[in-house]
Structure 1
Amino acid sequence: MAARMMERARRKSMSPEERYQRAVSAKRKFRALVRLIIANLSWLQELEDEKLGENVKKNIQVLTRKKGKKSLLTLKDKTVLNKAAEERTEAEKNHLRRIIGNLKCFRRYPMEVKNELPGICYFNFFGPNRTIVRQNYESHNLYVILSGEVVVSQTYYDKLLKETVTKDVLLMGPGNYFGEVGLLHNIARTATVTTTEATEFLYITREDFIRVLKATVANQWAEVQLNMSWFNYFDSWSEIDIRESCILAKKKNFEPDQIILSATGGQLDCVYFLTKGTCYLIEHMTIKTSYKKGIPHYTLLKDGEEGEARPPLNIYKEIKKLHRKEESHSGLGASIRPAISTSRPTLNPSYITPSVRVHFIKVCYFHKLACFNVGESLKNRIIVSATESECLLLPRYFLLDKSMITFKAIGQFLTRYIPSTEQIFKYFLEDHRWTLYKEQLVDRILEVTAFTGNTIHNIPYTIRLSEDLGEI
């Protein structure tokens, strides 16, 4: 009580200037507190869900609360990662090993490297529009994105405009890492990285990177450089261009009959360079079949006609059936003929109503050292691995920026030599006409009333002997 009275007396004795300064200070503290709460809001959202109780209003708030993006790490995990490495227990390291070792960027690392990761990784959080690394500054850490997004930008002098230009070159999300270039080559940062939203990171210091990761990262870069040396498209590229390629490159492995690329799946913004195995291109066409006097007539349906021209849900079964029965021509060329459709209609005259089916037709093969998705159309087309395959992926914008003439020419070549949908439909009709002709010819020969003029005496003795022996 006495303290309150003294505080009131002190306020009354304040001059107007002192009162003004006190009010300004209180506002600044309140704003700082609000900013602190906003910056740590993602942490508060990760608290365990509150249990429902007897308070109905509170229960409704708990049930209707908007959930944010769930972090890969719990608060307990982040607390452990904020500890010094020597203070982490073996149980904590084992728990982190399972989490960190399964990150996309570390999956291909050797087991001995994965075992070291829990002792060298630390956690950090940055709000939106924060610069993490700045171009031309000294390199200190490697960063791994756990959640959120960053934009990579480069500043350079444009000789044409005669001014300094800053260009956004890449967006990176969870599972990607950056900062290894400066640490690997002991050079300044080659780009600026800025967060676009609240983002969580793991970071590894220069000393730990050199001790644990440098050899592995160097081997991965050497593998990418070796793969690029197989393609003569990169022969004239400088060392800096190759280094930038190693930063942006991805390697992916595919099992047999696995879909690599389609109009709605895969890395649509990347060019695929086939470094191992074989894959093939499938066209799926929506065809209406109608029968007149028992003879099928086919009509190619465009998008929007009697349903969407898209593959059905059992596409994997269709691909496997096509893979088992196909004997299509391999390679790319003007003489490519598609394989027989997996869904051949019956010639039974009783089917007189039109039917609409999706036909899968194998168009061509891509062998090792081929590339695709350079600019050719993938509408109603799927690229599937025929064997165990491996692809090197590079962003299309990057390739066009470095060698526009070369890769534009490749795209035009693929567009010219891969048959169009209309050409494939024409081959489809020719194939079915030939099939219909063969079946009708066989039917005529096997008719009861048909007379060929042959008797038992016209058949060679060796054939009759073989048939006789077969009946014994």
Structure 2
Amino acid sequence: MGNRKAYKKECGNLPARVLCISLILSPQGHFPPRAIQITQKKPSWRTEHEIQALCNVLQVLDSYRNYEEPLQLLLAKVMRFERFGRRRVIVKKGQRGNSFYFIYLGTVAVTEDEDGSSAFLDPHPTLLYKGGCFGEMGLLSAGVRRATVVCMEETEFLVVDREDFLANKLDDEIQKESQYRFGFFRSLDLFKSWSDEKLWHLVTLGKVEKFSHGQLVSKDFVDSSFLMFICKVR
């Protein structure tokens, strides 16, 4: 509390909005306590200022930042916070998808088995880290999950549930993103002979990521478990 008073005394002349946003930052890398309080509110109870402050905190997540600003604000309006320990299964293969996850802190593995145990035996498991996301495509269809996602360590998530996803028409925005990916793949000679059904399956497996000038894309492209396509270069 003393540090907060000293901060206010030092920064008393700064605009209130800057002060408020600064106070919710967490030096330990965990999701800030004040931001957790915002996510515990019902979407309809969150003020515009709280939604914007939450949106600002989430800019550290690459997958969140990839979305256009209107969709970022919609996501910040409805997402909730969750923290799970090592070996906790978040998504189970064969079950219907009910939520969409952003990883704020920690690491998860994507596996083909139902309980995720293979991730702890595989010397090179498929991993997702802070800034990654998963589950969004599962909310656009009634299909079941094609893989299991398990926590490799204590992990913090921002979660969007199906009910809120549909109620706030987030499916329309996500569908636009999917249509862009479909159009991109369809334009490539490599996929000219593919049926729409096969191409849409490919769309559900991929996602768009943005990289800044000079940013490392892959340490070892040959050993990577992902196939990457360059969509646009500025």
State TM-score, norm by structure 2. 0.70
State the 1:249 CA deviation.
3.8
Q: How does 1:30-429 map to 2 (within 5 A)?
A: 70-101=28-59, 103-155=61-113, 170-210=126-166, 211-235=168-192, 237=194, 239=197, 242-252=200-210, 258-259=213-214, 265-267=216-218, 268=221, 269=224, 271-276=227-232, 389=233
Alpha-carbon distance between aligned partners in 1 of 2:156 and 2:33, rounded to the nearest angstrom: 12
2:85/2:151 contact within 8 Å kept: yes
Q: Size of the alignment, in residue pairs?
A: 197
Q: Using a 3 Å threshold, how does the CA distance of structure 1 residues 252 and 90 change in structure 2: closer, same or farther?
A: closer
* Greater Rg by CA: 1
CA distances 1:99-127 after superposition (whole Å, capped 9, x unpaired)? 23553222232332222233201000100
| Residue segments in structure 2 that go unaligned for 5+ positions in a row | 4-26
Alpha-carbon distance between aligned partners in 2 of 1:213 and 1:182, rounded to the nearest angstrom: 13
2:211/2:217 contact within 8 Å kept: no
1:121/1:203 contact within 8 Å kept: yes
Alpha-carbon distance between aligned partners in 2 of 1:48 and 1:93, rounded to the nearest angstrom: 28
Alpha-carbon distance between aligned partners in 2 of 1:184 and 1:135, rounded to the nearest angstrom: 17
2:109/2:149 contact within 8 Å kept: yes
Q: Using a 3 Å threshold, how does the CA distance of structure 1 residues 252 and 118 change in structure 2: closer, same or farther?
A: closer
**Aligned-residue CA RMSD (Å):** 3.2
CA distances 1:372-427 after superposition (whole Å, capped 9, x unpaired)? xxxxxxxxxxxxxxxxx16xxxxxxxxxxxxxxxxxxxxxxxxxxxxxxxxxxxxx
Alpha-carbon distance between aligned partners in 1 of 2:49 and 2:180, rounded to the nearest angstrom: 35
SS of residue paired to 1:252: coil
Q: Using a 3 Å threshold, how does the CA distance of structure 1 residues 79 and 274 change in structure 2: closer, same or farther?
A: closer
Q: Using a 3 Å threshold, how does the CA distance of structure 1 residues 202 and 114 change in structure 2: closer, same or farther?
A: same
Task: Report the equivalent of 1:294.
Answer: none
Task: Report the equivalent of 2:7.
Answer: none
More displaced, 196-205 or 106-115?
106-115
Higher relative contact order (CA 8 A, sep 6+): 2
Code of the aligned partner of 1:92: E
2:54/2:76 contact within 8 Å kept: yes
Q: Using a 3 Å threshold, how does the CA distance of structure 1 residues 228 and 146 change in structure 2: closer, same or farther?
A: same
CA distances 1:158-198 after superposition (whole Å, capped 9, x unpaired)? xxxxxxxx787731111111111221122112211100000
Task: Report the equivalent of 1:324.
Answer: none
2:137/2:204 contact within 8 Å kept: no
Q: Using a 3 Å threshold, how does the CA distance of structure 1 residues 241 and 171 change in structure 2: closer, same or farther?
A: farther
**Structure 1 stretches of 4+ moved >6 Å:** 166-169
Code of the aligned partner of 1:95: A
State the 1:235 CA deviation.
4.0
Q: Using a 3 Å threshold, how does the CA distance of structure 1 residues 73 and 155 change in structure 2: closer, same or farther?
A: closer
Code of the aligned partner of 2:171: K
Alpha-carbon distance between aligned partners in 1 of 2:229 and 2:79, rounded to the nearest angstrom: 33
State TM-score, norm by structure 1. 0.37
Q: Using a 3 Å threshold, how does the CA distance of structure 1 residues 216 and 155 change in structure 2: closer, same or farther?
A: same
SS of residue paired to 1:117: helix
Alpha-carbon distance between aligned partners in 2 of 1:110 and 1:220, rounded to the nearest angstrom: 10
1:182/1:190 contact within 8 Å kept: no
Alpha-carbon distance between aligned partners in 2 of 1:244 and 1:173, rounded to the nearest angstrom: 22
Alpha-carbon distance between aligned partners in 2 of 1:212 and 1:103, rounded to the nearest angstrom: 22
| Residue segments in structure 1 that go unaligned for 5+ positions in a row | 1-46, 50-68, 157-165, 277-388, 391-472
Percentage of identical aligned residues: 26
Higher strand share: 1
State the 1:83 CA deviation.
2.8
